[in-house]
Amino acid sequence: MVRLDPGKDRRAWTGGDTPPPDLRRANAKFRSLVSFYFQEQLVECGGLDFWKCAGTSSMERARIFWNRAILDAWATFRANPLTYQ
């Protein structure tokens, strides 16, 4: 389980580097963090079906949220290396 203390550990990706391609495969805590952020975004946005009028498919919307989850997880992971090793 990933420990998230609001305001302490969490970071948003604001640009710069991206996670190494094999990190998700190699680090279970990073995978958990990505999954947590992805699920959180789906809840916050009202689900993928809520945005049908946006002119995108559900899969395209899921990819947008997944990419954001990976990048936010990377920023959090990078800023707190000892917490997530």
Q: Binning pLDDT at 50, 70 and 90, where does residue 19 land?
A: very high
For residue 64, how many C-alpha atoms fall within 13 Å in the half-sphere facing its CB? 13
The per-residue pLDDT for range 26-74, each reduced to its tens digit, is: 888 889 899 999 999 999 888 877 777 777 888 888 999 999 999 999 9
For residue 20, what pLDDT is reported?
Answer: 92
Closest CA to 48 of 60, 33, 36: 60
pLDDT of residue 8 exceeding 70: no
Question: Quick one: pLDDT at residue 36?
Answer: 92
